[in-house]
């Protein structure tokens, strides 16, 4: 038997996922949560969870932050990100947080089941479109061009604060809340940071910032 938990704040998405999993008699749903905080609490009160299916954008605590906390405290719990998001930042942050697999919500039931079993056996599964983007991110990271010492760009104090938040895997929304500024302001600062560091994606941005001692 495989004991699973689900973290998903959308009732329609949750019921759809539960219906897909009901086709497999060896899957036992132990807990559901509406946010990352509840997901952590469920794991704290139950030692039976083998794998957690985690949404990303949820209120109170998002799936990426929850994944990072769970992996630090309960590394034996496997985590599959199951989301509608396939952009570079989410992929990078999920992998950085420790997610074992990453699939999209429109994945067919049989493939979700296969992802669960493969992940429990030590594999790392990604939807095809996610895998392509992840490989591209890694290729780009391998060819990062760094600045010479005299050409390292200067960041404002606010840009440095936002860069540090980005390096911790926070979303734009989280950064806005943490720094008490608007999401639009965060977006504008991030655009400036990308230009100054001449970065194409978040992996390159963070790697350059660390290499140049900016964070």
CATH topology match: 2-139 vs 149-211:
no
Residue range 32-63, pLDDT digits in tens: 999 999 999 999 988 789 999 999 999 999 99
- CATH class name, domain 149-211: mainly alpha
Per mean pLDDT, which range of 40-44, 72-76, 173-177 is the poorest? 173-177
Domain boundaries defined on the chain: 2-139, 149-211
The alpha-helical segments, DSSP class H, found in 10-156 are 11-21, 36-45, 63-73, 88-97, 109-120, 128-142
Model pLDDT, residue 4 = 97
Instruction: Please give the torsion angle defined by the CA atoms of residues 169, 170, 171 and 174, in that order, rounded to the nearest 10 degrees.
Output: 170
Q: Which fold does the domain 2-139 belong to in CATH?
A: Rossmann fold (3.40.50)
Helix, strand, coil tally for the chain in percent (to 5): 55, 15, 35
- In percent, the amount of the chain with pLDDT more than 70 equals 89
Residue range 160-174, pLDDT digits in tens: 999 998 887 777 888
What is the spatial distance between Cα 141 and Cα 146, in angstroms, rounded to a whole number? 11
Model pLDDT, residue 122 = 82
């Amino acid at each position: 038997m495989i004991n699973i938990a689900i973290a998903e704040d959308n009732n329609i998405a949750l019921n759809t996922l539960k219906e897909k999993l009901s086709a497999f008699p060896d899957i036992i749903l132990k807990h559901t949560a509406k946010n990352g905080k509840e997901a952590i609490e469920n794991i704290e009160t139950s030692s039976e969870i083998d794998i957690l299916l985690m949404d990303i954008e949820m209120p109170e605590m998002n799936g990426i932050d929850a994944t990072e906390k769970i992996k630090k405290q309960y590394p034996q719990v496997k985590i599959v990100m199951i989301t509608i998001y396939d952009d570079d930042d989410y992929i990078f942050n999920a992998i950085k947080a420790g997610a074992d697999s990453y699939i999209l919500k429109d994945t067919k039931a049989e493939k979700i089941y296969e992802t669960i079993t493969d992940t429990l056996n030590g594999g790392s599964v990604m939807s095809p479109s996610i895998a392509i983007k992840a490989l591209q991110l890694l290729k780009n990271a391998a060819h990062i061009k760094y600045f010479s010492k005299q050409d390292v760009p200067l960041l404002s104090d606010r840009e440095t604060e936002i860069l540090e938040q980005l390096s911790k895997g926070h979303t734009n929304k989280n950064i806005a809340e943490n720094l008490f500024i608007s999401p639009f302001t965060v977006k504008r600062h991030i655009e400036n940071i990308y230009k100054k560091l001449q970065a194409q994606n978040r992996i390159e941005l963070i790697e350059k910032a660390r290499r140049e001692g900016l964070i």
